[in-house]
């Protein structure tokens, strides 16, 4: 059991960077402060000014288990997560079978309790006919209920208005939505197919899954939530216009409607399709530089609350298909922190705000106690970052089962040095250290 003092750290927490020490005892942060005394029992590690931050809480990943394990597994992707500084994840229900009953959902928890190196939670899935089962989900042990109000990998579309009204009015848990209007997408797709057949250029993805499709669906979700007082969290926003649906002036802990932006939508624009094609094909689509600028503004003004990855691995072979066949999604969980560090370096966001949006805000948003902060008494989910090392993303360093990344060849400044999950060192300078699995996340219910 850990008894360790990290000395000479630059700790990022609650909007400040302070120099000092952090004492981890067992699974908790015991003390934080300058020149902490050693009771005589603790090991010590001199960090020589490296950055220390809370572990990232990623509220949207696809780890593909059960059923899609040729793409990824909880075992492999949780190791990629901790190597990237992500200590807790919330996983989506579009596995095979989809997590549409409590029993199927619990099967995923069982796998994670054996195989996940990070802390974990799994969303309950919805369909047009599993309402009663959804309503029986335990809000303390499950992060939320996911509704695909637009179809994506796994075809879990919920498009029946009555079902949606029922879910929004009766569900006493956080509802997370994927918002894209199916009719608009299908009409756009039909036009492109008429013109190009199957060989639609990937540059068209943002015009097929377009602004209108996003707005129609996300505005409907917001309208339903306002009508029924639902706790709604809209995932992966991509367009400037959708920002009008969110209020920047309410403190996060009091918001009923919250929002997420993903690191790839902050990082890439439609100008990257000619270079990366299917590798950055994802749903909702990566859109224009103007939308990208609006997302950054929305994030910094607090219209957008949290940053996530929507880590969605597919095999390299699958991604070689043409537009109609290459599945949507890209692997990101190992690189989300270093991607954001490049934006810190470019002056787009401060370290303090980055930590707010990747660590503090997800904890607040999901009512996840004792995580997301470097506070005394919190679980010791801690990431040590070396801000100065430059390194290049190579295939050899990838821990994703799919073994590819759209970032290969990119030089990054700043590197994850160590990751602790519940006080246990699980990643150390390029190496995964096997140990006890992470914990099932526990939430404060809404009422
Ligand atoms: O691009 C995406 N891929 N978006 C989603 O919503 C689902 C995901 C997947 O599971 O592949």
Q: For the CA atoms of the chain, what is the radius of gyration?
A: 21
C-beta of residue 5 within 8 angstroms of C-beta of residue 11: no
Taking 80 as the threshold, does the pLDDT of residue 1 lie above it?
A: no
- Cα-to-centroid distance, 64 and ligand 1 (Å): 11
Taking 90 as the threshold, does the pLDDT of residue 447 lie above it?
A: no
Which pLDDT value is given to residue 43? 98
Q: 431 falls in which pLDDT band (50, 70, 90)?
A: very high
Q: How far is CA 345 from CA 19, 71, 413, in A?
A: 20, 33, 8
User: Which of these CATH numbers, 3.20.20.140, 1.10.10.10, 3.40.50.2300, 3.40.250.10, describes 55-365?
Assistant: 3.20.20.140
Nearest in space to 115 (alpha carbons), one of 57, 146, 69: 69
Q: 205 falls in which pLDDT band (50, 70, 90)?
A: very high
Which pLDDT value is given to residue 336? 98
- 86-112 mean pLDDT: 98
- 110-129 mean pLDDT: 98
Each domain of the chain, given as residue ranges in start order, spans 2-53+379-387+413-432, 55-365
Which of 72, 91, 152 gets mutated to test ligand 1 (max ligand atoms within 8 A of its CB)? 152
Domain spanning 2-53+379-387+413-432: which superfamily?
A: Urease, subunit C, domain 1 (2.30.40.10)
DSSP state of 442: -
- Cα-to-centroid distance, 253 and ligand 1 (Å): 28
Alpha-carbon distance 374 to 363, whole Å?
12
- Cα-to-centroid distance, 153 and ligand 1 (Å): 5
Three-state secondary structure call for residue 312: coil
Which pLDDT value is given to residue 154? 80
Which of 150, 329, 333 gets mutated to test ligand 1 (max ligand atoms within 8 A of its CB)? 329
Which residue has its alpha carbon closest to ligand 1 atom 10? Answer: 153
Taking 80 as the threshold, does the pLDDT of residue 117 lie above it?
A: yes
Residues 2-26 have pLDDT tens digits of 999 999 999 999 999 999 999 999 9
Structure tokens at 425: 């060192």
Q: How far is CA 176 from CA 38, 55, 247, 258, 370, in A?
A: 45, 22, 17, 9, 22
* Residue list, ligand 1 pocket, CB within 6 Å: 62, 94, 152-153, 178, 282-283, 310, 312, 327-329
- Cα-to-centroid distance, 62 and ligand 1 (Å): 8
Which of 156, 310, 311 gets mutated to test ligand 1 (max ligand atoms within 8 A of its CB)? 310
Alpha-carbon distance 289 to 181, whole Å?
22
Taking 90 as the threshold, does the pLDDT of residue 153 lie above it?
A: no
Alpha-carbon distance 276 to 406, whole Å?
7
Q: 150 falls in which pLDDT band (50, 70, 90)?
A: confident
Nearest in space to 237 (alpha carbons), one of 265, 272, 267, 273: 265
Which pLDDT value is given to residue 207? 98
**Residue 92 alpha carbon, nearest atom of ligand 1:** 10
Which pLDDT value is given to residue 371? 98
Three-state secondary structure call for residue 296: helix
Residues 211-230 have pLDDT tens digits of 999 999 999 999 999 999 99
- Cα-to-centroid distance, 202 and ligand 1 (Å): 16
C-beta of residue 422 within 8 angstroms of C-beta of residue 27: yes
Q: 159 falls in which pLDDT band (50, 70, 90)?
A: confident
Q: What is the mean pLDDT of the chain?
A: 97
Which pLDDT value is given to residue 283? 98
Burial 153-170 (b: 16+ CB within 10 A, else e): bbebbbeeeebbebbbee
- 333-355 mean pLDDT: 98
- Cα-to-centroid distance, 425 and ligand 1 (Å): 31
DSSP-derived secondary structure for 154-218: T--B---HHHHHHHHHH--S-EEEE---HHHHHHHHHHHHHHHTT---GGGHHHHS-HHHHHHHH
- 63-85 mean pLDDT: 98
Paired sense of beta strands 306-308 and 431-432, if any: unpaired
Rounded to the nearest 10 degrees, how much is the dihedral formed by the CA atoms of 71, 315, 61, 206? -150
**Residue 148 alpha carbon, nearest atom of ligand 1:** 6
């Amino acid at each position: 059991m850990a008894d360790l003092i990290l000395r000479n750290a630059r700790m990022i927490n609650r909007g400040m960077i302070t120099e000092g020490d952090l004492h981890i005892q067992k699974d908790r942060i015991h003390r934080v402060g300058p020149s902490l005394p050693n009771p005589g029992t603790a090991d010590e590690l001199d960090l020589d000014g490296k950055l220390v931050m809370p572990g990232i809480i990623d509220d949207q990943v696809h780890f593909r288990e059960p059923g899609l394990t040729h793409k990824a597994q909880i075992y492999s992707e949780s190791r990629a997560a901790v190597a990237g500084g992500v200590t807790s994840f919330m996983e989506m229900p579009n596995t095979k079978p989809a997590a549409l009953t409590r029993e199927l959902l619990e099967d995923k928890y069982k796998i994670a309790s054996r195989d996940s190196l990070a802390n974990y939670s799994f969303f309950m899935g919805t369909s047009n006919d599993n309402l009663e089962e959804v309503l029986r989900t335990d809000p303390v042990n499950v992060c939320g209920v996911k509704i695909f109000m637009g179809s994506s990998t796994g075809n879990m579309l919920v498009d029946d208005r009555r079902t949606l009204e029922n879910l929004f009015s009766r569900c006493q848990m956080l509802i997370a939505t994927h918002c894209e209007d199916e009719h608009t997408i299908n009409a756009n797709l039909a036009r492109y197919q008429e013109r190009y057949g199957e060989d639609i250029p990937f540059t068209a993805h943002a015009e097929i899954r377009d602004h209108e499709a996003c707005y129609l669906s996300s505005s409907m979700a917001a309208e339903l939530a306002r009508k029924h007082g639902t706790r709604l969290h809209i995932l992966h926003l991509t367009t400037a216009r959708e920002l009008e649906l969110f209020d920047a002036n309410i403190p996060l802990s009091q918001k009923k409607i919250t929002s997420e932006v993903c690191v790839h939508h902050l990082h890439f624009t439609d100008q990257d399709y000619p270079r990366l094609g299917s590798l950055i094909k994802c749903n909702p689509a990566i859109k224009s530089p103007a939308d990208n600028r609006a997302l950054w503004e929305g994030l910094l003004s607090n219209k957008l609350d949290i940053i996530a990855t929507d880590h969605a691995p597919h095999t390299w072979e699958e991604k070689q298909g043409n537009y109609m066949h290459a599945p949507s999604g890209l692997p990101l969980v190992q690189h989300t922190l270093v991607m954001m560090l490049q934006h810190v370096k470019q002056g787009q966001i401060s370290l303090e705000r980055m930590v707010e949006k990747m660590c503090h805000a997800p904890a607040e948003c999901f009512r996840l106690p004792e995580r997301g902060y470097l506070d005394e008494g919190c679980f010791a989910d801690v990431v040590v970052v070396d801000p100065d090392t430059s390194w290049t993303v190579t295939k050899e360093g990838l821990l994703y089962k799919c073994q590819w990344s759209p970032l290969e060849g990119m030089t990054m400044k700043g590197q994850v040095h160590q990751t602790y999950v519940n006080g246990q060192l699980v990643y150390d300078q390029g190496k995964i250290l096997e140990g006890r699995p992470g914990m099932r996340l526990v939430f404060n219910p809404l009422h």
